[in-house]
Structure 1
Amino acid sequence: MIIGIGVDVVQVSRFKQQLTRTPALRDRLFTPAERERNIRSLAARFAAKEAVAKALSAPAGMNWQHCRIDIDSTGAPRVVATGTVAEVAEAKGVTTWHLSLSHDGDVATAIVIAEG
């Protein structure tokens, strides 16, 4: 059963400007392992985190670092929920995440399906 769907689009150049203007934002939004990625990858990961929040109906109090976007053994992106994000997902009955990331020019997109 689908519990929620989320989608987000990020303009890479605008996202880069935000990170340059507010350096602490990188630490607030991303885990230490994610922070080392290039700007296109960071933009896609931010879009994925936004899409996860939307799939969960964007409840207040979720910590951005409790949602990590990893790569599985096949090279596919995957959602790793911990802490506040895992708590909300569990309360809603989410057992499986589906994630698709895409880049085209200056745009990064993510689609998330939360399944239970």
Structure 2
Amino acid sequence: MMDVQGIGIDLVEIHRIREMLERHGQRFKERTFTAGEMAYCDACADPAMNYAARFAAKEAVAKALGTGIWAEGVIWTDIEVVRAENGKPSILLHGAAKIHAGEATCLVSLTHTKDLAMAQVLLA
């Protein structure tokens, strides 16, 4: 049986991430996303949609951890969304996020429409 330690969900308006990318560009990307996330999103047909889904995932993980972002040492790049060869997303934790999670695993589900991106995370 799985021992659930936390759950988090987040919904992001894609136009807000698109605006951040247009206004702050590389500075926003480097503060919020890992090199691997940037490489993946920048190669997509609509990078903003994929950045938004990853942003939602990071928020959802922070909620599942119970720390939030910038609290208890957790920063954006401590939470990384990676993809398996078959496209299945998963979460890698680094730094303070990894310390707070301990041995727990993050399970993640991402979805998006033309306007919204959402992520749900289960910390078990």
Could you tell me the TM-score, scaled by structure 2's length?
0.84
Q: How far, CA to CA, are the matches of 1:97 and 1:55 in structure 2?
A: 9
SS in 1 for 2:112: strand
Which residue identity does 2:13 align to in structure 1?
Q
Of Structure 1 and Structure 2, which has the larger fraction of its residues in strand?
Answer: 1
Query: 2:64 corresponds to which residue?
Result: 55
| CA deviation profile, 1:52-109 (whole Å, cap 9, x unmatched) | 000001251202111110012332100011111101111xx52x21100001121000
Q: Does 1:46 align with 2:55?
A: yes
Runs of 4+ in 1 over 2 A off after TM superposition: none
Query: 1:72 corresponds to which residue?
Result: 84
SS in 2 for 1:62: coil
Query: 2:99 corresponds to which residue?
Result: 87
Structure 2: give runs of 5+ residues left out of the alignment. 42-46
Which residue identity does 1:20 align to in structure 2?
E
Q: Does 1:99 align with 2:101?
A: no
Q: How far, CA to CA, are the matches of 1:20 and 1:74 in structure 2?
A: 31
Match of 1:31 among 31, 34, 42: 34
What is the aligned residue count?
112
Could you tell me the TM-score, scaled by structure 1's length?
0.90
Percent sequence identity over matched residues?
A: 37
Structure 1: give runs of 5+ residues left out of the alignment. none
Which residue identity does 1:71 align to in structure 2?
R
Report the more deviating stretch, 57-66 or 9-18.
57-66
Q: How far, CA to CA, are the matches of 1:29 and 1:17 in structure 2?
A: 14
